[in-house]
Copies of this chain bind each other. A is one copy, B any other.
Amino acid sequence: MSANHESLAAVNESTVAGLGRLARFVGFNEVMGRLYGTLLMSPEPLSLDALAGQLKISKGSVSMNMRALERWGMAVEVWVRGERKKFYEAETDLWKVIRHVLNSRERREVQLAIDVLSESVTKLKEAEGELTPEEKELSSFYLERIDDLRAFFIFAQMALETVLGGEESLDFDAITKIEIG
């Protein structure tokens, strides 16, 4: 299918650009977002060549970023009858995409932060006997700050677990209908 009409082309372009912007905003890169957008707005699976052509980027960049999209569960390779090239399709269940990202990326990052902060507490407690009075004062200041940070990350971890432990799928559609009418 072709997006010949200027409105169709414009809508495609602004959706792809918007997802590129969003990807950058959440700490992925823009090309990943644009590739995901291109696949999402395509009724048929697309080859690496088609993606490179549509986004006017090198095939190497497409290939590298498609691997990243696959890792994040945002696209899958599909088999197309009679074709020997690799074809890709977007994961259209956005809730599944978000769960996958939160479950791997955010969860790991929060756990890492908690581990580093806990190690710092241990380190400070072990050093306690060796500190001068001035250093002791600084050490208890550090412990206070670290406690605040740790409290925040534990809160984030609880929020993540709540989201990830909830329903497998969320009915976004029902929500839009109430809101937009």
Residues on A close to B: CB < 8 A? 1-5, 7-8, 10-12, 14-15, 18, 22, 24-27, 40-41, 43, 92, 94-95, 98, 109, 113, 116-117, 119-120, 123-124, 126-127, 130-132, 134-135, 137-139, 141-142, 145-152, 154-155, 158, 170, 172-173, 175-176, 179-180
Inter-subunit contact A172/B146 (CB<8 Å): no
Contacts of A180 in B (CB 8 A): 150, 154
Contacts of A18 in B (CB 8 A): 113, 116-117
A113, B17: Cα distance in complex, Å: 11
Inter-subunit contact B15/A149 (CB<8 Å): yes
A1, A7, A40 — most chain B CB neighbours (10 Å):
A7
A116, B20: Cα distance in complex, Å: 13
Contacts of A154 in B (CB 8 A): 172, 175-176, 179-180
**Nearest-neighbor residue (CB-CB) of A158 within chain B:** B175
Contacts of A27 in B (CB 8 A): 24-27
Contact residue among B26, B138, B148, B172 (Cβ-Cβ distance under 8 Å from A151): B172
**Distance to closest chain B CB from A33 (angstroms):** 12
A50, B149: Cα distance in complex, Å: 23
Contacts of A123 in B (CB 8 A): 7, 10-11
**Nearest-neighbor residue (CB-CB) of A113 within chain B:** B18
Contact residue among B142, B150, B176 (Cβ-Cβ distance under 8 Å from A176): B150
Q: Given A8-B139, A10-B123, A138-B1 in contact, is the A94-B131 Cβ separation under 8 Å?
A: no
